[in-house]
Amino acid sequence: MIGRRRLRGSLLALVLAGLAGAACGKKGPPLPPLNLLPTPPADFSVVRRDSKVDFTFKIPGANTDRSTPADITRVDVYALSSATPVTSDEVMRRGSRVATVAVNKPKDPDEPEPETPAPKGPGLDQNEVANLSEDLSADTDAASHRAYVAVGINKRGRRGGLSPRIALPMVSPPPAPAQPRITYDEKTISVTWPPVSAPGEPAGLAYSVYQPGSSAGLTPTPARDPLFVDRTIEWDKERCYEVRAVETVENVRIEGAASPAACVTPHDTFPPAPPQGLVGVGSEGAISLIWTANSEPDLAGYIVLRAIEPATEFTPVTPVPIPDTNFRDTVPSGSRASYAVQAVDKLGNRSVPSNPIAETAR
C-alpha cells in the first residue's frame, strides 16, 4: 500500500514537472517590429534664383522618439503650385516630388574600426547639410504660390515628420545687374556695380555676390550697397565674381539672373612701406646703422643706400637684401656720409627710401 502511494506521488511529480517545463518553453505571439520615424529635416530654407529654386536642410539624425541614429534612407522634397493657401499635408498628398537625396547607412558603433576606412556612400550622412534644387517651368510661374516641404523616409518606406511648409510667391525676379568692375590693392579685391532699380522697392534692392557656378554666396547676407570687398586675395590666382539683385517677398528670398561674370588675376606690384626709425652712430673708421623692422609677411630684406660727401647721389652698399635691421659700414676716418634704407619684398618690389640721415666717422 505504501509502495503504491509512493509510485503515485512520483508519477504526479513527473507530470507537474513536465507541465512546468512546457509552460517555461512556450512562445507567445510575435512582437510587432519597431517602426521608427525620423524627425523633420531641420533648418529647411528656400531661395529662388532666377528660374531655379534652391533648398537647404539638415539631414535628420534622430527619430521622433529621440532615439539615435535615425531610421532613414532618404529625404524627399515635395512641391505644390496653388492659387490658394495649402497645408503641409496637402503638399504631400497633392504635390509631386521634385528633389531627393539618399542618406548613407550609419556606422554600427559595436563594429571595430577597420584598418582601411570604408569609402563613403553615394549619399549624405545623418546631420549633414543638403543642397538640392528644382528648375521652374513656364507653367509653374502662372500660380500665385509654390509650396515646399521636406520629409525623411525610413527603411520601411514610411514618412517621418514634415518640415515647416515654405510658400514661394511666384513673382517676377528682379533684373540682373550690369557686369561688375574690379579693382584691387595689396590687401583686398573690391567689386562694384551700378545699382539696380525695381518698381515697388523705393529703398532699393539688396545684392548677393557669388563665384560663377556656385550657390554658396560670398556675402553672408545680402548687401545693401553695390560694393563687395574680398579679403581672401591670392596673388596670381584668378578670381571671378557675379552679382544677383535680391528682394524679399513674404519672408522668402528671391534673386534675379546673375550679372555677366567679371574676373581678375591679381599681381603683387605693391612695394613694402619704407623703413622707419633709421639712426646712425659714428666710430673709428665706421658708421653703424639701425632701424625698425618692417611688418610685411612677404618681406625679403633691406637695401642700404649711401652717399659720401661731396657726392649727393645714393648708391647701394648692400648688393642683395640683408635680413637684419642693422648694418656696420666701413668708411675712411673723418668721412661724412648720408644713408637711407629700402625694404624689398620676395617679388623684388622695393619701397621708397627711408628718411635720410647723415653721420661722420671718427
Helix, strand, or coil (residue 3): helix
Q: Among 21-35, 74-88, 102-116, 224-238, which is the least confidently predicted range?
A: 21-35
The per-residue pLDDT for range 66-84, each reduced to its tens digit, is 999 999 999 999 999 998 9
pLDDT tier for residue 28 given thresholds of 50, 70 and 90: low
Q: What grid cell was written down for 192? A: 562694384
Q: Say whether pLDDT at 21 is over 50.
A: no
pLDDT tier for residue 10 given thresholds of 50, 70 and 90: very low
Q: Answer for the pair 46, 146: CB distance below 8 angstroms, yes or no.
A: no
Measured CA to CA in angstroms, residue 150 lies from 54, 75, 132, 173, 255 at distances of: 13, 7, 11, 24, 22
The per-residue pLDDT for range 182-230, each reduced to its tens digit, is 999 989 999 999 999 877 665 679 999 999 999 899 998 999 999 999 9
In DSSP notation, 47-84 reads EEETTEEEEEEEPP-SBTTS-SS---SEEEEEEEEESS
- Lookup result for grid cell 517676377: 172
What's the confidence (pLDDT) of residue 128?
97
Q: Say whether pLDDT at 14 is over 80.
A: no
Cα–Cα dist 68/312, whole Å: 81
Helix, strand, or coil (residue 186): coil
What's the confidence (pLDDT) of residue 34?
67
Helix, strand, or coil (residue 23): helix
Measured CA to CA in angstroms, residue 68 lies from 34, 107, 124, 272, 301 at distances of: 14, 12, 16, 57, 59
What's the confidence (pLDDT) of residue 201?
63
Cα–Cα dist 199/215, whole Å: 26
What's the confidence (pLDDT) of residue 26?
52
Q: Say whether pLDDT at 31 is over 60.
A: no
Cα–Cα dist 301/80, whole Å: 66
Q: Say whether pLDDT at 232 is over 50.
A: yes
Helix (H) or strand (E) holding 17: helix 2-25
What's the confidence (pLDDT) of residue 1?
45
- Tell me the domains of the chain and their CATH numbers: 42-109+121-169 (2.60.40.10), 181-264 (2.60.40.10), 276-360 (2.60.40.10)
Helix, strand, or coil (residue 32): coil
Measured CA to CA in angstroms, residue 121 lies from 118, 330, 353 at distances of: 9, 71, 61
Q: Answer for the pair 103, 72: CB distance below 8 angstroms, yes or no.
A: yes
Rounded mean pLDDT of 283-291? 97
Q: Among 9-23, 31-45, 279-293, which is the least confidently predicted range?
A: 9-23
